[in-house]
Amino acid sequence: MGIRLAALLALAVGAVEAAPLGTYATPGLLEMPTAGARPDGTLAFGLARVGPSTRAALSYQLTPRLRGAARYAIIDGFDYDGLGTRYDRSFDLHLDLLAEGPRRPAVALGLRDFGGTGIYSSEYLVATKQIGPLAVTAGLGWGRLAGRVPLGALPGPFAERPAPDTDTGQLDAGQWFRGPAAPFAGLSYQIAGRTTLLAEYSPDLYRQERARGAAHDIAAPVNLGLRHRFDNGLTLGAAYLYGRDIGLTLGYRLDPARPRHPGGREGLPEPLAPRDTVAARSWNRPGASPNALRETLDARLLAEGIVLEGLTRDGPRAGVRVVNEVWSAVPQAAGRTARVMANVLPPEVTQFDITFVRYGLPITTVSISRAALEAGEHALEGDRILRAATTLADARPTRAGELPVAYPAGHVALAPYVETSLFDPDSPLRYSVGAAATASLRPMPGLVLAADLRYPLHDTIGTATRRSDSVLPHVRTDAVRYAAAPGLQLHRLTATHLFRPGRDLFGRVTAGYLERMYGGVSAELLWHPLEGPLALGLEINAVRQRDFNEMFGFRGYDSLTGHASAYYDLPGPLHAQLDVGRYLAGDWGGTLTVMREYDNGVRIGAFATLTDVSFDEFGEGAFDKGLIFEVPLDWFTRRPTGRVHRQVLRPVQRDGGARLAVAHRLYPLTRDYRGGEIDDRFARITR
């Protein structure tokens, strides 16, 4: 699972010492788990081939003690009396109870394959102790890990392990740590700087695979292996398993907080020129053209990746309205804008008011004094000097005639596209490649006319033959029929009005073909104070399902949806979002999303939705859930782009808990430009 994402991140993030990934593509010896936390916030990607099984997994150290993993397995011969292939999804949790000490081992417990089909379902309690180059592991396993010579069971209600009583996607906590338990153990020995020998005793008998015809032969309970880590952080391993099978493993661990190429190619900001030098420049001399100063400022800002939309002056204060096109950290854009203003505007201008605008919507004004810029130019802690002299304010609405040359504005682009569909029950990866044309026109501040056209050149998403068995309205499960539309596809054709109805308030109204499956009208109101961790929003949508050919026609299904949303910055690097309301299929419920954010703009999180649709009505997966990865494209280009790749990984897309995918939602549009985010990344103002 997550092969495309791991490849994306591998190009963008620097490798640190590779995690020891086992044959379940998660941290461990070979088949058996180990204790010990990985560095907080790290990602590990693993790929393994064991007999007729291929396993891929993405694991993430959620907290210093808690790790989660999502696995995708392909088991040849598991279905149809040994003739069919099973594509299986599963999730793991690993909790480190004790960190290793001088005289005690690290101790952990874990759940393997909870909420999946149960093929790998097991629990374990494990301890690991490092003694020089030797690491010793011993533990007890339940479920699948209790296949050979079980010792017995815990007393009382834990004595019996009940049969599974849930469908795929549901939690069967009634089985956890119940029934017989069996011991497992293992050793790892570092024989050279980057090479490790592995040996373990495994109680796993592969009963399900053998009973279904997937030819895993068990001749002995002992596994032997060799693992080598290369300089780039990649780990390769080979193993001889159960006296019969050969296993191969590949691992790579990533630290999202560390880019592969620190510093990039962003270039240095303009050095500050002395005031007398600025005063002597041609555009500031008496008799210069009134437009010369604005044109110079416009050109110098554009060279920094910042678009000037307006310039005003009131005595010693000068104000600009700018669009930040490339800088992921708003303070960095503010610092570069202020430097250009100081180098262009006459010395009697001593205060710079920088208002950030998106799609004509003014969001926040950052005010910086010329004196503070000069004081912080060569200071060791220049960012602190600037922060003490910088103020933030809610941006006022745009006044009539204030932006005489900024509008109308437009944008047209033609580029290739790649779209993927993961975890189809009959194929782990489907894709579509072709040409995409996008266009936008901004005839006035806050009004955006946008179109998105695509022409597939090669598509396997639309070739899926499995049809929806959902008992709910097919609000998402017919997506494959849209993908199968031949020829030109109109993904989006909208008119959006963005406006400021009051202090700390933002509004949006969008009409048209809102996404590839729905057209209609969407309206949103957001209260997002400049300071403070909380923001609140309301959204309502009246939509009709589009024809499968993705052109201008509609089908007969209408839906009125809407949500009340709360956004909250939790302590530390976490952010939570709760959406409560009515979904596309008419079901009522809520979605909780939790994201972890890094200073460099990387965001990793998970979401889950529960509605009044029962698990049985929902179908496979029981409820909507998934993982979210947001990676700035700066990591590919090594220079600022202002663009972010967002990847949502769902085990399965069903009709319950489905929301509209409308563009220009207000919270993502404004969040980076409000006080909390600016303060968190203010140190970049001097870069």
pLDDT, position 518? 98
In a domain, 555, yes or no: yes
Give how many domains the chain has, as a whole number.
3
pLDDT, position 376? 86
In a domain, 269, yes or no: no
Tokens of 385: 């000097």
Cβ atoms 349, 279 nearer than 8 A? no
Of the candidates 135, 111, 113, the residue with the CA atom closest to the CA atom of residue 125: 111
Least confident of 22-26, 199-203, 609-613: 22-26
Whether residues 336 and 223 share a domain: the answer is no
Q: Which CATH number does the domain housing residue 196 bear?
A: 2.40.160.40
Q: Is the pLDDT of residue 4 over 50?
A: no
pLDDT, position 566? 98
Higher-pLDDT residue of 598 and 534 is: 534
In a domain, 679, yes or no: no
Q: Which CATH number does the domain housing residue 662 bear?
A: 2.40.160
In a domain, 64, yes or no: yes
Least confident of 93-97, 402-406, 562-566: 402-406
Mean pLDDT of the 110-114 span: 92
Whether residues 415 and 401 share a domain: the answer is no
Mean pLDDT of the 527-534 span: 96
In a domain, 578, yes or no: yes
SS3 94: strand
User: 268-272 — which CB contacts under 8 Å span 24+ positions?
Assistant: 269/304, 269/335, 269/336, 269/339, 269/686, 269/687, 270/300, 270/304, 270/336, 270/339, 270/340, 270/343, 271/339, 271/377, 272/339, 272/342, 272/343, 272/373, 272/374, 272/377
Mean pLDDT of the 458-481 span: 88
For residue range 313-358, list pLDDT tens digits in order: 899 999 999 999 999 899 999 999 999 999 999 999 999 999 999 9
- Residues forming a β-bridge with 92: 69, 112
Whether residues 386 and 416 share a domain: the answer is no
In a domain, 611, yes or no: yes
Q: How far apart are CA 579 and CA 667, in angstroms?
A: 12
Mean pLDDT of the 51-68 span: 91
pLDDT, position 39? 85
Cβ atoms 44, 38 nearer than 8 A? yes
Q: How far apart are the first and last CA of the chain?
A: 38
Q: Please report, rounded to a whole number, the percentage of residues in the chain having pLDDT higher than 70.
A: 92
Mean pLDDT of the 414-420 span: 92
Q: Is the pLDDT of residue 19 over 60?
A: no
Q: Is the pLDDT of residue 10 over 80?
A: no
* Helices 290-303 and 330-344, axial angle in degrees (round to 10): 150
In a domain, 483, yes or no: yes
Question: Would you give the distance in Å from CA 620 to the centre of its chain?
Answer: 24
Mean pLDDT of the 516-524 span: 98
Whether residues 397 and 416 share a domain: the answer is no
Q: How many helices (H) and strands (E) does the chain have?
A: 12, 31
Q: How far apart are CA 192 and CA 179, in angstroms?
A: 41
Cβ atoms 139, 621 nearer than 8 A? no
Q: Is the pLDDT of residue 3 over 60?
A: no
pLDDT, position 8? 36
Q: Is the pLDDT of residue 382 over 90?
A: no
SS3 372: helix
DSSP state of 152: B
Tokens of 374: 């000069």
Whether residues 425 and 572 share a domain: the answer is yes
Whether residues 219 and 121 share a domain: the answer is yes
Higher-pLDDT residue of 663 and 253 is: 663
For residue range 571-581, list pLDDT tens digits in order: 888 999 999 99
Of the candidates 465, 517, 64, 26, the residue with the CA atom closest to the CA atom of residue 249: 26
Whether residues 479 and 621 share a domain: the answer is yes
Mean pLDDT of the 470-491 span: 93
For residue range 641-673, list pLDDT tens digits in order: 888 888 898 888 899 999 999 999 999 999 999
Whether residues 383 and 280 share a domain: the answer is yes
Of the candidates 300, 294, 299, 296, the residue with the CA atom closest to the CA atom of residue 319: 294
Q: How far apart are CA 538 and CA 36, in angstroms?
A: 44
Of the candidates 519, 527, 635, the residue with the CA atom closest to the CA atom of residue 258: 635
Highest mean pLDDT among 71-85, 175-189, 248-262, 507-521: 507-521
**What domain range includes position 368?**
275-405
Q: Is the pLDDT of residue 238 over 70?
A: yes
Residues in the chain, total: 687
DSSP state of 21: B
Cβ atoms 454, 474 nearer than 8 A? no
Whether residues 245 and 169 share a domain: the answer is yes
Q: Is the pTM of this model over 0.75?
A: yes
pLDDT, position 194? 87
Mean pLDDT of the 66-84 span: 85
Q: Give the residue from 234, 259, 284 where a domain finishes.
A: 259
Whether residues 622 and 504 share a domain: the answer is yes
Cβ atoms 328, 632 nearer than 8 A? yes
Mean pLDDT of the 414-435 span: 86
In a domain, 543, yes or no: yes
Within 10 angstroms of residue 453's Cβ, the number of other Cβ atoms is 17
For residue range 179-195, list pLDDT tens digits in order: 889 999 999 999 977 89
Mean pLDDT of the 572-591 span: 96
Band of residue 15 on the pLDDT scale cut at 50, 70, 90: very low
pLDDT, position 227? 94
Q: Is the pLDDT of residue 12 over 60?
A: no
Q: What is the mean pLDDT of the chain?
A: 88
Helix, strand, coil percent content, the chain, rounded in steps of 5: 15, 45, 40
Helix residue ranges, H only, 270-329? 275-279, 290-303
Cβ atoms 533, 568 nearer than 8 A? yes
Phi, psi values for residue 331, rounded to 5°: -60, -35
Q: Is the pLDDT of residue 261 over 80?
A: no
Band of residue 584 on the pLDDT scale cut at 50, 70, 90: very high
Of the candidates 337, 345, 295, the residue with the CA atom closest to the CA atom of residue 317: 345
Whether residues 433 and 401 share a domain: the answer is no
Whether residues 607 and 485 share a domain: the answer is yes
Q: Please report, rounded to a whole number, the percentage of residues in the chain having pLDDT higher than 90.
A: 57
Least confident of 257-266, 548-557, 630-639: 257-266
Mean pLDDT of the 526-546 span: 97
Highest mean pLDDT among 204-218, 401-415, 422-436, 565-579: 565-579
